[in-house]
Amino acid sequence: MEEQIISKAIIETYIKELISYLDVDVAIVGAGPSGLICAYYLASAGKKVAIFERHLKIGGGMPGGGMMFNRIVVQEEAREIMKEFGVRLKKYSEKLYTADAIETISAFTFKTIKAGAKIFNLISVEDVIIREKMITGVVLNWTAVDIAHLHVDPLGVKAKAVVDATGHDSEVCRIVERKLGEDFKVIGEKSMWAEKGESALTENTKEVYPGLFVCGMAANAVAGSHRMGAIFGGMLLSGKKAASLILGKL
Amino acid sequence: MEEQIISKAIIETYIKELISYLDVDVAIVGAGPSGLICAYYLASAGKKVAIFERHLKIGGGMPGGGMMFNRIVVQEEAREIMKEFGVRLKKYSEKLYTADAIETISAFTFKTIKAGAKIFNLISVEDVIIREKMITGVVLNWTAVDIAHLHVDPLGVKAKAVVDATGHDSEVCRIVERKLGEDFKVIGEKSMWAEKGESALTENTKEVYPGLFVCGMAANAVAGSHRMGAIFGGMLLSGKKAASLILGKL
Amino acid sequence: MEEQIISKAIIETYIKELISYLDVDVAIVGAGPSGLICAYYLASAGKKVAIFERHLKIGGGMPGGGMMFNRIVVQEEAREIMKEFGVRLKKYSEKLYTADAIETISAFTFKTIKAGAKIFNLISVEDVIIREKMITGVVLNWTAVDIAHLHVDPLGVKAKAVVDATGHDSEVCRIVERKLGEDFKVIGEKSMWAEKGESALTENTKEVYPGLFVCGMAANAVAGSHRMGAIFGGMLLSGKKAASLILGKL
Amino acid sequence: MEEQIISKAIIETYIKELISYLDVDVAIVGAGPSGLICAYYLASAGKKVAIFERHLKIGGGMPGGGMMFNRIVVQEEAREIMKEFGVRLKKYSEKLYTADAIETISAFTFKTIKAGAKIFNLISVEDVIIREKMITGVVLNWTAVDIAHLHVDPLGVKAKAVVDATGHDSEVCRIVERKLGEDFKVIGEKSMWAEKGESALTENTKEVYPGLFVCGMAANAVAGSHRMGAIFGGMLLSGKKAASLILGKL
Amino acid sequence: MEEQIISKAIIETYIKELISYLDVDVAIVGAGPSGLICAYYLASAGKKVAIFERHLKIGGGMPGGGMMFNRIVVQEEAREIMKEFGVRLKKYSEKLYTADAIETISAFTFKTIKAGAKIFNLISVEDVIIREKMITGVVLNWTAVDIAHLHVDPLGVKAKAVVDATGHDSEVCRIVERKLGEDFKVIGEKSMWAEKGESALTENTKEVYPGLFVCGMAANAVAGSHRMGAIFGGMLLSGKKAASLILGKL
Amino acid sequence: MEEQIISKAIIETYIKELISYLDVDVAIVGAGPSGLICAYYLASAGKKVAIFERHLKIGGGMPGGGMMFNRIVVQEEAREIMKEFGVRLKKYSEKLYTADAIETISAFTFKTIKAGAKIFNLISVEDVIIREKMITGVVLNWTAVDIAHLHVDPLGVKAKAVVDATGHDSEVCRIVERKLGEDFKVIGEKSMWAEKGESALTENTKEVYPGLFVCGMAANAVAGSHRMGAIFGGMLLSGKKAASLILGKL
Amino acid sequence: MEEQIISKAIIETYIKELISYLDVDVAIVGAGPSGLICAYYLASAGKKVAIFERHLKIGGGMPGGGMMFNRIVVQEEAREIMKEFGVRLKKYSEKLYTADAIETISAFTFKTIKAGAKIFNLISVEDVIIREKMITGVVLNWTAVDIAHLHVDPLGVKAKAVVDATGHDSEVCRIVERKLGEDFKVIGEKSMWAEKGESALTENTKEVYPGLFVCGMAANAVAGSHRMGAIFGGMLLSGKKAASLILGKL
Amino acid sequence: MEEQIISKAIIETYIKELISYLDVDVAIVGAGPSGLICAYYLASAGKKVAIFERHLKIGGGMPGGGMMFNRIVVQEEAREIMKEFGVRLKKYSEKLYTADAIETISAFTFKTIKAGAKIFNLISVEDVIIREKMITGVVLNWTAVDIAHLHVDPLGVKAKAVVDATGHDSEVCRIVERKLGEDFKVIGEKSMWAEKGESALTENTKEVYPGLFVCGMAANAVAGSHRMGAIFGGMLLSGKKAASLILGKL
């Protein structure tokens, strides 16, 4: 058991995957709940899916629950998805269920990877690749390079579809707005109104620019809809809808 | 779907669990691989187990793989544990297998929670509770309080056994050394020697002070054994052994 | 006297109050002098009042006096309020009195709580809840989450009226301006003109958006009036007026 | 109402007090619960007492309750002191009561100032004054000078007795240990053991060096006793005992 | 030689001056070369002059010379002023002289104070006082309060004339622009053109808003003139001209 | 071998060069690949060339390769330049070659200096010198002065031509835009499109303002062309073209 | 008036001095009051003296007075020195005088430079030069290099005598202690005792290691004497004594 | 020219090298002048050599010259090495030559890589690999991981010899001292004495622990010899000697 053999095993198997994923069907940016759900359905349908996650941690805001109380709330209509992932629900009221936030996110992560999606964590998307007026990929760098203020260039990844699942900040859409500008605008999320935010989410989940789809909170942020509050049903349905829209296109 | 009802649902269900876990069989400090494995076997045996994790993220150093290449290496002898958690292994050489780091840690997390253990993330252990020369609990605070340099007092949790699964730093043992001192000493991890480090790990997994057990890298650090390198077999076996030692005592 | 019992006593009694205050008559943002005075009169009139204060410290800018010289100045017309709170005044000139800044703020705090208001400190308001064009609550998070740059979602609280008592920054109004925009504008405080600033304050204390009231320096900031200087009479009267406006509405 | 007159009123009245307090009977370092209680009884007995508090905020760790849940717990034996300050108690169990942390600390502050003690906040003690082997005063600086890393010299204040009420850090005792050394040693607080910590506190409250008294958590820290947990009875009694020891000496 | 007597001597004599200077003829903001020269001529003419300097250090950018090489360059026409302050010049070329930067600034400082001006260092101007459309004073705070991010209110000082001698940033003019806006605009300094910058300086030295004068680099910055380069003749003449303009008005 | 003699040798020889380079033919800002290539051809043609580089490190983003993998890619058409510098190429595909990033940048640096150009590292350009509408030099400061937030003035250097080779940020052009404004605009780089970015580069390499040339990524950034990706052929040709344009003018 | 000529004038005259001062009679480290006084008397006696000051600012702690109140106190016995520098004293009591802190330090600076000493500010001493057991010089670097965490080597300066006038920290002595160790020990300043500190100062002012002298607060710090408080008489006398000791040796 | 092909080219060629260098003859830590020289002679002799450099920048302290004046000084005896690398020398005195610091370091880098050594920059050595009492490799991590405070495990590299060429800090030796302790001690560099430091350097260049060699300033630091000053001759000879010692062993 020599140390350099262990090193070799890790580097070789990782890089083989990385190189294989330089050309994918779908590049999903952000491994929060909606990005994972979207990846799960795409991978289950046989697509080659890479998720690029800026942090070491998977799960976006979900593992923190609400105000660090690590429980989440879902509605009746998301129950089926939760069941599909094997997450236990506790009935709270007529239409509301609570679940353990960490159980939920680890279930989503585990099953999404098992379905065939690959998660690259510690990697940030700092730009998109464009051909005429079509997004055709993402531009990656190690997140650590950015935090450490190192002057290091990024690398490009080709994708048939890109999904912005980065939450409130809708980071990919912000890049498109800043870099391409004239015909694309991020409006920004409005104040909290759980009911309206939830209902708008399905409608806002769409292709917002040729080749670029949004889901989860990023979808509401781009469209200027209301904030949803600490409830996750709509987000899961949004991830699922994004997957189905992409499957319809590819 | 009123916002304050969602808030209420989250707070009530979380606090009910938190209060229930103020008096536990086993308090495990650190939700890295060895802590999770230890919790899994204890919870599976019917013990009331709380894991207190300092970070928002679950998994310790595992999700980062080696040098951010998110694959891990395990040996033949840990294959069975990996299989029990449903993690896919790729054969690399005679005795070495690689696995996806995020698949592995999400599997460990999901199954450990399903087995009945409760993970409280974002919570740091800043002291232990003692009765004569016996550790009888841990002293908790929000990690955010510490990062934000706020002057806020902690709270105490009672436990029949405490497990230090905090890795290299062996944080709980360091507290015991600093606060109680005279008859307890952390030697500190030696340089890397994968083979020796692995073989010493089982032996070092033990009760190091009445009521306090160590497992994983913390065990080697306390005993002054060698660093193991980026290989995880011993760590999993160590978590399992710690569970069995505790079951023998409680 | 077991530690976990003490923990349980603290958590249970706090959370019982927190849950009870998820649905209030009035949510006051900021526990500076005007917010406290406003809360005092509302609570004295039997309203259910929660004050959410971002800092650990109560009192806003008052405990620092002027340039760290911890005395304050009040005018003749605020003398009665000071007397109602039992604060000792020292006559300085015909119309000016000085008081100990810490005596004043501790008196305001103590009596306001005794009147029935509840202060939640260490909690920030990061958004409002809205229904059509009506503010119907606030969105809370632990301040420590923000300082520690943790990715944790907030929770919502319902309120019949919200008071922005956050001082110069008029934080709640800024949120409304940024998030709802079109029909609401924060002008910003003008330079110092003690006399004009004082006289404008009463007039500026009002409902600035359906469901949202301003008092104290925030009122002048929203209206674009002059800065008042280190004198507190107008601020106290403003807090009292805000209370009376709200009582007239609820 | 000219601005410079307001400035003059604040500066003159503050500085008159500051100069008057350059020569005091007792200088108390730290405005947490034990320091305030100690000051209250000394001032009530007619002594000239100055409290020097490093922060803008008064109250030490009390306003944060336990883990930011702002309630506190006190035992039967401290009930009388709580009553003397007018703080409302809620019975929790046979011997335990809870109280609102902010109500408690504002009551302590208000009544202590009314009793005649003067609190100077935003001021740090960075050294002591000594004559042979007798502490005869403290050396002050603005806390802001320290935070801003400015090179500014401090000033000295004379005191017949100095009280270290700085909590866990026992800051004044640490200065004495570091600067005078040979015959004085701070042992440091041991791990949590609520019962033992509480019972040791009375005994540890004493004159630890000629002219220097300790009370509250600083007393236990100097003596190497156990940490008390989030319970405040002993601390209040300790503050009261320190006052009575000093009254017996002056 | 008791310590508290020394403290008393310092506080009393400083505060007596501070209170006396709460109502001045001229408040100069910034103790760089132009501010000092301006103060020197005003004080020499019998005016009551206070200089408020943000830093502990006196001299603005002068003590650093050019790129830390602590020499300065002056032209023929500033030779007389240098001589008046007793600074030694070394002839470099036909029209250029060099001088020791620290000798120059210490000479300016020493003679200005001797002429009767008072320098308050460590004090920032964070606002102005206004009456209708007339600047009538400045609003002060300790610089340390700002650096330490403390929430502490400022105090006001009355002045018949205010001088912005804050250099490139023209800080006071920026406050007026931001707070009063409509009829006042800071254009900002253009790129370096030593000759043009020097010649424009005299013209730009003037009353830019009722009660507010500019001199030195701030004058060029407000007017949108060119940057002067590391040459100081114009700056000294500008300070002198500002003094003479003010003397003509008061 | 006395220490002060070594000091003297270093200071004297450096300053002699620095003074000699206060008046140059060409001042190149940025010692990345395009700046070095440009300097190489200019110096080879006998021009007096100074490169001012903000960092201690030479080479811009090249030494970091792509995502810290320190290899670079060049196309067929840049092969000749690489050969001229003696850098070894490894054929990757029909038209692509890879090279060691550090070998490449050290070759460029070594040969450029040998050709007669002087590199001043650790020096930032914070402004330009202008005469009417013509850039006639740059304004320098130590980078360390900026990082350390010291208030120290810069010095000016005269140049017949200035080259902005600062990469994405096009720092010199940004200064010209901010300071001179009306007739000059930096559009900013668009998203990545390797092919288009490469082809636009030659065209964008030009004199963008009288006396100011751009090359490398700065050229594309000013013109609003696409980002090139981690390929260096165009950049080298751009540096060479800038040199030839300048030689045509001087 | 071309910019590069101004640059040349500054660089040339500065570097000429710097090179001339690479070999001096006395190198004084720290331009606080005692260092300046020492330099004044040495330069007046014809010695070649360089002062190396870490900060941009001259004067050590003096310009900040006591607690930012910028007055200082001196005793009867220092009156003559103050008079020699032309500083105005205000009688406070029988034996105590106050003076303006900035007037005092600018007088000291101005007259010391006029007497022939050269002050190099922004330069830190990071080591000493040694020959057998004799200090023969100092090792310099730009302070900005240190603050900016740049990896840049220092340069050496030869001196017949080195003076540590760095105050409390006695920085040069600390270097000697850490680097040469065995026969040299810095004891560290004791707590404040103005009278004792003052009287010990003269005695502690001496040659502490061959070639190394101490004066001012550094002298007391090395010897383990008491802190003096905000009184400056002894410091001035100490600077003068150090000068006379050195004159006796050279 | 598709972006993902460029990415693939970079990753593949880099990783192929990285994997090949997981098992080397010599691992040199630090790419400063002595490390580069050592690598040059080893690679020229046909050894497989990897240099691991913590920074993006190559060259250690050399590119900064002395106090940011980027010239270096070498003696007669190092002239031949300089000539071998093609660096131009300027005669300064009888025995001293100066050279351009950046020319020198780029020559060393370029020729060392051409000789066959591979430099991995941005990679830190955080531990060593050990077998009994023999260093047999180094443990690597990305430097960015460390700066960004990410919790990511390192990987191991096997080497027949390890060279500590990390300068003053002698980082590898410090690891060995801290981790293995009992029979190995780093004494630390003494103060500057150019002559003695130079002459000791050759002697200190040796195998300090089985498998671990030191050269350059690290050699003097480990042995407790004097600091050399800004002169580079000895360092180059030391690098060459280390190479020859290793060649004699392998």
Question: Shortest Cα distance from A220 to chain F (angstroms)?
Answer: 24
What single-letter amino acid sits at A47? Answer: K
- Note the pLDDT of residue F230: 80
CA-to-CA distance for G59 and G51, rounded, in angstroms?
A: 12
User: Are the Cβ atoms of F64 and A150 closer than 8 angstroms?
Assistant: yes
Q: Which residues of chain A are under the pLDDT cut of 50?
A: none
- Note the pLDDT of residue E145: 96
Strands in A96-100's sheet, in edge-to-edge order, are: A71-75, A96-100, A90-91
User: How many CB contacts within 8 angstroms connect chain C with chain E?
Assistant: 63
User: Are the Cβ atoms of H5 and F93 closer than 8 angstroms?
Assistant: yes
Are chains A and B touching, using the cut-off of 8 Å on CB pairs and a minimum of 3 such pairs? yes
- Note the pLDDT of residue C183: 78
* Chain F environment of A182 (Cβ under 8 Å): none
Report chain H's mean pLDDT, rounded to a whole number. Answer: 96
Q: Which of F106, F119, F140 to mutate to test the interface with H (most CBs of H within 10 A)?
A: F106
Subunits with 3+ Cβ pairs within 8 Å of G are D, E, F, H
- Note the pLDDT of residue C229: 80
Which range is least confidently modeled, D176-185, D216-225, D240-249?
Answer: D176-185
> Does D199 have pLDDT greater than 80?
yes
User: Are the Cβ atoms of F230 and A141 closer than 8 angstroms?
Assistant: no
User: Are the Cβ atoms of A142 and F190 closer than 8 angstroms?
Assistant: no
Q: Which of H53, H54, H67 to mutate to test the interface with G (most CBs of G within 10 A)?
A: H67
Subunits with 3+ Cβ pairs within 8 Å of E are C, D, F, G
Q: Which chain C residue shows the shortest CA-CA distance from D103?
A: C110
Subunits with 3+ Cβ pairs within 8 Å of A are B, C, F, H
For F30-57, the pLDDT digits (tens) are 999 999 999 999 999 999 999 999 999 9
* Chain E environment of F152 (Cβ under 8 Å): 61, 64-68
Question: Shortest Cα distance from E126 to chain D (angstroms)?
Answer: 14
CA-to-CA distance for F189 and F195, rounded, in angstroms?
A: 14
Q: Which of D2, D4, D13, D140 to mutate to test the interface with C (most CBs of C within 10 A)?
A: D13
Subunits with 3+ Cβ pairs within 8 Å of F are A, E, G, H
E93 C-beta neighbours (distance < 10 Å), count: 12
User: Are the Cβ atoms of F106 and H106 closer than 8 angstroms?
Assistant: yes
pLDDT exceeding 70 applies to what percent of chain G?
100
Question: Shortest Cα distance from D198 to chain E (angstroms)?
Answer: 35
Q: Which of C55, C58, C67 to mutate to test the interface with E (most CBs of E within 10 A)?
A: C67
* Chain D environment of B176 (Cβ under 8 Å): 191
> Does E41 have pLDDT greater than 80?
yes
- Note the pLDDT of residue F229: 80
For A19-42, the pLDDT digits (tens) are 999 999 999 999 999 999 999 999
- Note the pLDDT of residue G210: 96
For F146-202, the pLDDT digits (tens) are 999 999 999 999 999 999 999 999 999 999 999 987 778 999 999 999 999 999 999
- Note the pLDDT of residue A195: 94
How far, CA to CA in Å, does B163 sit from each of B50, B128, B201, C43, E82?
10, 11, 15, 48, 75
Nearest Cα to B27, choosing from B105, B106, B110, B136? B136
Of the pLDDT bands very low, low, confident and very high (cuts 50, 70, 90), residue H230 is confident
* Chain G environment of F155 (Cβ under 8 Å): 3, 6-7, 10-11
CA-to-CA distance for A221 and A34, rounded, in angstroms?
A: 14
F24 C-beta neighbours (distance < 10 Å), count: 23
Cα three-residue angle F49-F54-F58, rounded to 5 degrees: 70
- Rg over CA atoms, chain G: 18
How far, CA to CA in Å, does E175 sit from each of C169, C223, E42, E185, E215?
16, 18, 24, 11, 16
- Note the pLDDT of residue E40: 98
Q: Considering Cα of B196, then B197, then B198, then B204, what sign does the dihedral take?
A: positive
Length of chain E: 250
* Chain D environment of G188 (Cβ under 8 Å): 179
Enumerate the domain spans of chain H.
23-61+101-249
Name the more confident of D156 and G183. Answer: D156
CA-to-CA distance for F115 and H88, rounded, in angstroms?
A: 12
> Does C113 have pLDDT greater than 90?
yes
How far, CA to CA in Å, does B87 sit from each of A221, B66, B103, F118, G243?
36, 18, 7, 59, 78
> Does H205 have pLDDT greater than 90?
yes
Question: Shortest Cα distance from E150 to chain C (angstroms)?
Answer: 9
Cα three-residue angle H119-H122-H128, rounded to 5 degrees: 80
- Note the pLDDT of residue E164: 98
Give the DSSP H/E element, type plus range, for residue C247: helix C233-249
For B156-189, the pLDDT digits (tens) are 999 999 999 999 999 999 999 999 877 789 999 9
Could you give the 3-state DSSP secondary structure of residue B62? helix
Which residue in the set H130, H141, H155 is minimally distant from B191, CB to CB? H130
- Note the pLDDT of residue F183: 77
SS (H, E, C) G73-128: EEEHHHHHHHHHCCCCCEECCCCEEEEEHHHHHHHHHHHHHHCCCEEEECEEEEEE
Nearest Cα to A32, choosing from A177, A245, A218, A221? A218
Which residue in the set D10, D56, D198 is minimally distant from C69, CB to CB? D10
> Does G1 have pLDDT greater than 80?
no
Q: Which of B51, B68, B72, B89 to mutate to test the interface with A (most CBs of A within 10 A)?
A: B68
- Cβ neighbours for A84, distance < 8 A, ≥ 6 positions apart: none
Question: Shortest Cα distance from B153 to chain C (angstroms)?
Answer: 11
Name the more confident of F45 and D184. Answer: F45
> Does B20 have pLDDT greater than 90?
yes
Q: How many helices (H) and strands (E) does chain E have?
A: 9, 13
CA-to-CA distance for F80 and F238, rounded, in angstroms?
A: 14
Question: Does the interface ipTM go beyond 0.90?
Answer: yes
* Chain A environment of C147 (Cβ under 8 Å): none
Greatest extent of chain H over all pairs of C-alpha atoms, in Å: 59
Q: Say which CATH class A23-61+101-249 falls into.
A: alpha beta
Q: Which chain B residue shows the shortest CA-CA distance from D55?
A: B151
- Note the pLDDT of residue C154: 97
Phi/psi at F86 (nearest 5 deg)? Answer: 80, 20
User: Are the Cβ atoms of C140 and A61 closer than 8 angstroms?
Assistant: no
Tell me the residues of B at the H interface, defined by beta carbons under 8 Å apart. 55, 60-61, 64-68, 188-194, 226-227, 229-230
> Does E1 have pLDDT greater than 90?
no
Are chains A and H touching, using the cut-off of 8 Å on CB pairs and a minimum of 3 such pairs? yes
- Note the pLDDT of residue C1: 77
* Residues G97 and G90: beta-carbon distance below 8 Å: yes
Question: Shortest Cα distance from G139 to chain H (angstroms)?
Answer: 8
* Residues G56 and F150: beta-carbon distance below 8 Å: yes
Report chain G's mean pLDDT, rounded to a whole number. Answer: 96
Could you give the 3-state DSSP secondary structure of residue A234? helix
Report chain B's mean pLDDT, rounded to a whole number. Answer: 96
- Note the pLDDT of residue F40: 98
Question: Shortest Cα distance from H154 to chain F (angstroms)?
Answer: 16
> Does B209 have pLDDT greater than 80?
yes
Question: Shortest Cα distance from A181 to chain B (angstroms)?
Answer: 34
CA-to-CA distance for A90 and A108, rounded, in angstroms?
A: 18
- Note the pLDDT of residue A220: 97
- Note the pLDDT of residue B229: 80
Q: How many helices (H) and strands (E) does chain D have?
A: 9, 13
The whole-angstrom distance between residue C107's C-alpha and the CA centroid of its chain comes to 15
User: Are the Cβ atoms of H23 and A15 closer than 8 angstroms?
Assistant: no
